[in-house]
Amino acid sequence: MNSPRTTLYRDKQNAKFMGVLSGIADYTGVNALWVRLGFIILAISMGWPILAYFVAGILLNKKPPHLYTDHDESKYWQRVRQNPKRTAREIRSRMKDIDRRLADVETFYVTSNPRLNAEIERLR
């Protein structure tokens, strides 16, 4: 089951017609202008994208109005949709960095406080 934040929706807030292309732009993180230009080129050269557009317009759900709390959260979920493994690696790296910095602070505080250091040693 997909998370609501990793699902393709029609984006009616930024829509020109049915919101399919703006939904694709939101989903991929590509500027809507480029998605629309690409669609026009495909529609002129092949024709079938117009049918696919209407089918998607009928099948896709409308994007919930409060899906993201801010722009940063929207960008985060776009990165998750593009490459979940890379996003997980970035988060792990940040957490390791925070853990290392916290250990440094802890070491500094314990070594500069001999009473606390003695208390910790007694507990071991």
Task: Match 């009928």 to its residue by tokens.
Answer: 58
For residues 105 and 65, state if they share a domain: no
Which domain does 21 fall in, by range?
1-82
* CA geometry: angle 73, 25, 17, nearest 5 deg: 120
Who's near 28: CB < 8 A, 6+ residues apart?
35, 78, 81, 82
Mean pLDDT of 50-70: 84
For residues 54 and 114, state if they share a domain: no
- Is pLDDT larger for residue 94 or for residue 9? 94
For residues 96 and 51, state if they share a domain: no
For residues 14 and 53, state if they share a domain: yes
CB 122 within 8 A of CB 114: no
* pLDDT beyond 70 at 11: yes
What share of the chain has pLDDT > 90, as a percent? Answer: 19
How would residue 1 be classed by pLDDT, with cut points 50, 70 and 90? very low
How would residue 65 be classed by pLDDT, with cut points 50, 70 and 90? confident
For residues 75 and 88, state if they share a domain: no
Give 17-59 pLDDT, tens digit per residue.
888 998 888 888 888 899 999 999 999 999 898 899 899 888 9
* pLDDT beyond 80 at 87: yes
Give the tokens for residue 3.
């998370």
* Total count of domains within the chain: 2
Q: End-to-end CA distance of the chain, in Å?
A: 47
pTM of the model: 0.58
pLDDT at 115: 81
pLDDT at 5: 67
Lowest mean pLDDT among 1-10, 73-82, 84-93, 110-119: 1-10
For residues 40 and 74, state if they share a domain: yes
SS3 assignment, position 52: helix
CB 63 within 8 A of CB 23: yes
